[in-house]
Amino acid sequence: MAGRRTDTRDRIRQVALELFAEQGYEQTTLQEVAERLQITRPALYYHFSTKEAILESVGERLAESIDELVEWGRAQPRTPGARREILRRIGELLEGQWRPLFKFAQVNQGVMQGLPAGERMQAGIVKMVSLLEDPESGPVRKFEARLAVFAVILGSVPFLFDLDVPEAERASVAMEVATKLISED
């Protein structure tokens, strides 16, 4: 039974983010989320009583995935191969689990500010970026490591990637640029 509850919560998070991205966070009601899911409002309220609770849950899941990546990355040797794998895993999360949140963020900038999960995500991203930095490097190499993460992120944001590159290739182009940024000279 717990598996069904988790599946329903995942579906609610996904559909709510889609609606928030389409209509804006403030304009979307829980009734609209329930209707799109084809469930009753009481069934939705059983899982989430407010839009804020849905958004907080989304943020927590993202923060958990960042924490898992950081924990894994810290256990790896500081090698070029490990840094490439960290970038690949970031890209994988962006293409999967994080994509709905980035679509939401494009339309609803600032909504997550002030939420505990938003603050936790921000701290996690800083830790994630530090995995790509060599502590012995100078400021230029450290800046390149940060840019590498943002290159991967930008590859998942269509409106910022206004190049003559098909959508299906965008992520791989961004990954290629990011990999060059962290490669040893």
Instruction: State the average pLDDT for the chain.
Output: 84
Give the pLDDT of residue 107: 67
Interval 95-154: pLDDT, tens:
776 777 777 776 666 776 667 777 777 788 888 888 888 888 899 988 999 899 888 888
How many helices (H) and strands (E) the chain has is answered by 9, 0
pLDDT bucket at 36, cuts 50 / 70 / 90: very high
Q: How far apart are CA 67 and CA 24, in angstroms?
A: 28
CB–CB of 37/48 below 8 Å? no
Give the pLDDT of residue 122: 78
Stronger pLDDT, 158 or 34, i.e. the higher one: 34
Give the pLDDT of residue 18: 86
33 pLDDT exceeds 80? yes
Give the pLDDT of residue 177: 92
What separation in angstroms does the CA of 165 have from each of 9, 10, 88, 152, 170?
35, 32, 20, 15, 6
| 3-state DSSP of 70-108 | HHHHHCCCCCHHHHHHHHHHHHHHHHCCCHHHHHHHHHC
Indicate the pTM of the whole model.
0.77
Stronger pLDDT, 157 or 37, i.e. the higher one: 37
Give the pLDDT of residue 184: 73
Interval 40-93: pLDDT, tens:
999 999 999 999 999 888 888 888 888 899 999 999 998 889 999 999 999 888
Q: Select from 129, 51, 35, 147 the least CA-distant residue to 43.
A: 35
CB–CB of 104/66 below 8 Å? no
Give the pLDDT of residue 51: 92
Give the pLDDT of residue 112: 67
**Domains, in order of start, for the chain:** 2-182 (1.10.357.10)
